[in-house]
A and B are shown apart, each in its own frame.
Chain A
Amino acid sequence: MAASIREGRPGELLLEGVLDHACGSALRARGHELIAGSQASTLLVDCSAVQRSTSVGLSLLLCFLRDAKAAGKSLRVRALSDELRQLAGVSGLSEILELD
Chain B
Amino acid sequence: MSADDTYAVELKEVTFTRGSRTIFDSVDIRIPRGKVTGVMGPSGCGKTTLLRLIAAQLKPDSGQVWVNGRNLPELSRADLFDMRKQFGVLFQSGALFTDLDVFENVAFPLRVHTKLPDEMIRDIVLMKLEAVGLRGALELAPDELSGGMKRRVALARAIALDPQILLYDEPFVGQDPIAMGVLVRLIRLLSDTLGITSILVSHDLAETASIADYLYVVGDSQVLGQGTPAELMNSENPRIRQFMQGIPDGPVPFHYPAPDYRTDLLGGD
Q: Which residues of A contact B (CB under 8 A)?
A: 21-22, 24-25, 28, 54-56, 58-60, 62-63, 86-87, 89-93
Contacts and interface: CB of A to CB of B under 8 A. Distances in A.
B76 interface: no
Interface stretch (B28-36, B49-57, B119-127): B119-127
12 contacts: A21-B116, A21-B161, A24-B120, A56-B120, A58-B127, A59-B127, A86-B194, A87-B162, A91-B128, A92-B127, A92-B130, A92-B131
A59 B125 CA distance: 10
Q: Ordered nearest first, which 5 A-B pairs have the shortest CB separation?
A: A91-B127, A59-B123, A21-B114, A54-B162, A92-B130
B83 interface: no
B189 interface: yes
A86 B34 CA distance: 14
Nearest to A62: B123
A58 to B, nearest CB: 7
B113 interface: yes
B127 A55 contact: yes
A42 B110 CA distance: 32
B20 to A, nearest CB: 44
**How would you classify the secondary structure of chain B's contact residues: helix, strand, loop or mixed?**
helix
A25 B123 CA distance: 13
A93 B127 contact: yes
A68 to B, nearest CB: 15
A63 B162 contact: no
Interface string B181-200: 00000000110011000000
B116 A56 contact: yes
Nearest to B121: A59
A89 B119 CA distance: 21
Contacts of B113: 21
Nearest to B116: A24
A88 B114 CA distance: 21
Given A21-B161, A59-B124, A63-B123, A91 B116 contact: no
Given A55-B123, A56-B116, 13 more contacts: A21-B114, A24-B116, A25-B115, A25-B120, A28-B117, A28-B120, A55-B128, A55-B162, A56-B124, A59-B120, A87-B194, A89-B193, A90-B190
Contacts of A93: 127
B116 A90 contact: no
A90 B193 contact: yes
B103 to A, nearest CB: 15
B222 to A, nearest CB: 37
Interface in B153-202: 161-162, 189-190, 193-194
B64 to A, nearest CB: 27
Contacts of B120: 24-25, 28, 56, 59-60, 63
